[in-house]
Copies of this chain bind each other. A is one copy, B any other.
Amino acid sequence: MAHEPGAPLRVALLGCGVVGSAVARMLVTHADDLAARAGRPLELVGVAVRRPQRPRPDVPVDPALFTDDAEGLVARADIVVEVIGGIDPARDLILRAMENGASVVSANKALLAEDGPTLYAAAAEHGVDLYYEAAVAGAIPILRPIRESLTGDHIRRVIGIVNGTTNFVLDKMDVSGAGFAETVEQAQALGYAEADPTADIEGYDAAAKAAILASLAFHTRVASGDVHREGITEVTAADIRAAADMDAVVKLLAICERVESDGVDAVSVRVHPAMIPRSHPLASVREAFNAVFVEADAAGELMFYGRGAGGEPTASAVLGDVVAVARHQVAGGRGPGESAYADLPIVDMGRAVTRYHLSLDVADRPGVLAQVAAAFAEHGVSIEAVRQQAAPEEDGRARLIVVTHRAPDAALSATVDSLAALDAVDDVAAVMRVEGA
């Protein structure tokens, strides 16, 4: 990309939905500041959409810039902004842009989590930038801090609330005491959940973001398929109450951590609901906000908090990347690329180390606690706390609340099965992992 000094950098925008139109607006309204900060004007040279003729009164650009020829547009850009989402045609367009020497800014978590390494390799081959801050936690600067600010440190653990829909639903359940289905309907009515909320409530969206976070934090290739994933569809009002009873809240967490497995350094990457104490900084993340909590050897505990979705917040992250890659083009270099040098093995969920909360309905007679304790011991699981709940529902029955110490998830899961098989145990409920203690 040879340019006269001061010649504008040509920006192509692929997609003009809620994020794309915010990006277009900001490119126009902030043009002077963007030029001063990038070192050159940024000129929007086209917007690829499916229906170029459609009126778009909220996008203040020349209607002639809209085109359905995305490939043609990509060929005449220095910087390509991809906010189409999904795998195809986004992947091909990004690869083509990089072949042409353009840098790419993308918000496409699904693509990056499924096939990031192909894209990173192409960026390295063609000496261009591929930046994607907007793909995880919207406006919150989290990928750049992990990739650059914390790169002199050893990250031990990243725990994120990275899906606004599920956080909104769980927060409302906590506040109102209502059930899951009812709360999802409410979230849909308020625009916080989509008509088909599967990607959010089943944890697919969070799993893609977990894969991206883990890859950067641990310099290891982690794809969506490597992430153990459980959504929030089975979280009940009773689970939320059980959490409240131990002064905790239920959150859908994306957890990326370094673990030692059979004496070997490895990583565990998983998405599941978990109870966290109300005193934990993540517990105060309300409504549809996102936050990412990072623990590093030297830095200690850090948290990054803000809006994880929405047109303008996502566009803020996109434009930060656009200016960054523009600066690199002006200076004639590129930013730090991806690295997977550490190449750590990824442990399966059974070998991840977690803690469990469970609620047991048992016969209220001598010897029952001994049987229950034996079931834990059989699987090598230590109990951190056990208490009998004040008001059992019928005579002769009691409710035991148990919180375990850390143990391999498979041992905890097997313990639950053993408990369920005991004659003295009527029900094993509110089985949920506990994090952040």
- Chain A residues within CB distance 8 Å of chain B: 22, 26, 30, 33-34, 36-37, 133, 139-141, 144-145, 148-154, 219, 281, 284, 296-307, 310, 312-313, 315-324, 327-328, 331-334, 336, 339, 341-342
Contact = CB atoms under 8 A, between A and B. Distances in A.
A140 B133 CA distance: 18
B153 A316 contact: yes
A335 to B, nearest CB: 8
B153 A149 contact: no
Contacts of A324: 148, 151, 336
Closest 4 CB pairs of A and B: A152-B319, A141-B149, A333-B333, A139-B299
- Identical subunits present: 2
18 contacts: A26-B152, A33-B342, A36-B219, A36-B339, A37-B336, A141-B148, A148-B323, A148-B324, A152-B319, A152-B322, A152-B323, A298-B315, A298-B316, A299-B306, A300-B307, A300-B310, A324-B336, A331-B334
Contacts of A151: 37, 319-320, 323-324
Contacts of A319: 151-153, 298
B339 A316 contact: no
B333 A37 contact: no
A300 B334 CA distance: 29
A148 B300 contact: no
Nearest to A304: B304
Contacts of A22: 298
A298 to B, nearest CB: 4
A302 B306 contact: yes
A306 B298 contact: no
A303 B137 CA distance: 13
